[in-house]
Amino acid sequence: MKTIFLVDMQSFYASVEKARYPHLHDKPLVVSGDPKRRSGVILAACPLAKKSGIKNGERLWEAQQKCLDLVIVPPRMQDYINISVKITAILEEYTDLVEPFSIDEQFMDVTGSQTLFGEPSEIALKIQTHIWKETRVRARIGIGENKILAKMACDHFSKKNESGIFWLKKEELATTLWPLPVEKMFGVGGRMANHLRNMGIRTIGQLADVPLKRLKDQWGINGQVLWMTAHGEDFSPVTTASHDGQKAIGHGMTLPRDYISLAEIRVVLLELCEEVCMRARKSNMMGQTVTISVSGASYEVRTGFHRQTTLYEPTNYVMDVFQTVEKLFLQFWDRQPIRRLGVSLTKLCPDSELQLSLFDTERDKKLELGYVMDGIRERYGSTSLIRASSLTKAGQAFERAKKIGGHYK
């Protein structure tokens, strides 16, 4: 039988900041974006802050009302990435099968490690202690015979367990997992929870009692996945190749203010296309389907659209993508202020598979130009070559160069 761990870092960003500032260890602390910009939301809250009712994702001003002595620190994404990589290296000392699930969660298959490091609970304690000594970040560990059990063990039991370790066994699901509300099950979002409750299903155990055929007739393969998850079944292995085979390349950003004029919006769309095509070239990929995502500025009335179109042939040339994005935007924009924009490429293929063209005689030169520009940026910095439009007040290229994942490095 397999033994799988899900290792989760407690309040990761906040824990890193408390390790940086030891004098704040007994203070309620949150990591939050700049309140002067739209990113002023809680990215991470330490346990002391959570006791005041503060939750990840809520507005900073709301959190400040709940806790008057709240300590607010800005995110330092590069530090979090570096420590996440360091934690991966620690986990790899116990097994070569480590699969990152997010920046603060990683799966481990320790089935073959037990002869070296002991039984699962003993290994978990060693890993927990090792991570704490190296990073001063507390790890919670869920144990199961597969990834789904390890994940739910961590989410629902390890995080509430004083030791931070819990082993969720399939033969004990009736007394551990099944009494929980159905929306607590991994893979069940708000909409699916409503559907299940309308069927009279309130707990995970009640979902497990539903005949498989009924769920498959209702939701097809998704119904089968629901039934398997409720029964603690999962056949996906822990693998280091889980992120191979990229299916999409995209980039989006929340604007620092409402963008109203087409001229300003075009500037950001061009910058996003530049970023997406640069990422595609870095992966030696091209995309044939171009997608644009737009969110309106109003929080009360949600507006915007998500549209895509497929090109005649794949590309990673900026102006090809931009002209397509601009056409889609003009076709579906309701002329209302814009809060967020996103551009992506899908239907990817290697750039070495490009077919000969009888019509676009300049295509090869255009594509080669992109790789030359990438080489200059790699050597001299991402803003060493920018378009003139990025120098206008609408441009965000210099601001984005200071960030990782939408937050300052």
The residues annotated with a catalytic role in the active site are 105
Name the token pair of 28: 């309620």
Cα distance between residue 114 and residue 95, in whole Å: 10
CB-based contact 34:74 (threshold 8 Å)? yes
Question: What residues are paired with 100 via a beta bridge?
Answer: 106
Contacts of residue 315, defined as CB under 8 A and 6 or more positions apart, other chains included, come to 286, 287, 288, 321, 367
Relative to beta strand 71-73, strand 29-32 is parallel
User: Which H or E element spans position 214?
Assistant: helix 212-219
CB-based contact 108:5 (threshold 8 Å)? yes
Give the DSSP letter of residue 244: -
CB-based contact 47:11 (threshold 8 Å)? yes
Cα distance between residue 77 and residue 314, in whole Å: 33
Which phi and psi angles does 347 have, rounded to 5°?
Answer: 55, 55
Class of residue 193 by CB neighbours under 10 A (exposed 0-12, middle 13-18, buried 19+): middle
Angle at 325 between CA 322 and CA 329, to 5 degrees: 135
Name the token pair of 257: 């203010």
Contacts of residue 37, defined as CB under 8 A and 6 or more positions apart, other chains included, come to 256
Angle at 164 between CA 159 and CA 169, to 5 degrees: 85
Is 244 within any annotated ligand binding site?
no
Is 320 within any annotated ligand binding site?
no
Cα distance between residue 188 and residue 223, in whole Å: 11
Encoded amino acid at 9, one letter: M
> How far apart, in Å, are the Cα atoms of 301 and each of 23, 101, 264?
44, 34, 23
Question: What residues are paired with 341 via a beta bridge?
Answer: 253, 294
> How far apart, in Å, are the Cα atoms of 132 and each of 1, 4, 28, 121, 129?
29, 21, 20, 17, 5
Cite the annotated binding site by residue number. Answer: 8, 104
As annotated, the binding site for Mg(2+) includes 8, 104
